[in-house]
Amino acid sequence: MKLNHYKMRSELWIYPGQVGNWHFVTLPKKQSDEIKKKFGEEARGWGSLPVSVTIGKTKWKTSVFPDKREDAYLLPIKSHVRKKEGLREGKQINFSIEILV
C-alpha cells in the first residue's frame, strides 16, 4: 500500500509576472521526489496529480504541478483559503496533502 498523506512546511510565494497574482507553495524536495516516484506514472495533464489539501481548518481539492526549474511540485493556494487562514506572501505555512490517485 502506498503512503498517500504528507505533512509539510513551505513558504507562500507569488508567481512572478502573472496577472491575477497566483500564489503557490513549493513542496519540499524530499516529499516531491517521493510523490513522483510513487505516483508519477498516474499523473494527468501537465504532469499534475489530484490532491486534497488542509491548511489550518480549511480543506479543499486541487492539483499539484511539477516545476522543472525547482524539480519539485507546486501547490496553488486559492484566494479564499489565503483570506480565511490569514496567509500572505513570504509566510511559512504548515499544510498536509493527500494524493487522490
Q: What is the pLDDT of residues 58-73, one digit of tens each?
A: 999 999 999 999 999 9
pLDDT category of residue 19 using cuts at 50, 70 and 90: low
**What is the β-pairing status of strands 72-76 and 58-67?**
antiparallel
pLDDT category of residue 16 using cuts at 50, 70 and 90: confident
C-alpha cell at 3: 503512503
Cβ-Cβ contacts under 8 Å for 10 (sequence gap 6 or more) = 25, 26, 27, 28, 92, 93, 95
For residue 28, give the DSSP letter. P
Domains of the chain, first to last: 5-99 (2.40.30.100)
Whole-model pTM? 0.91
Is residue 47 over pLDDT 50?
A: yes
Average pLDDT, the chain: 93
Residue 58 burial by Cβ neighbours in a 10 Å radius (0-12, 13-18, 19+): middle
pLDDT category of residue 1 using cuts at 50, 70 and 90: very low
C-alpha cell at 27: 513542496
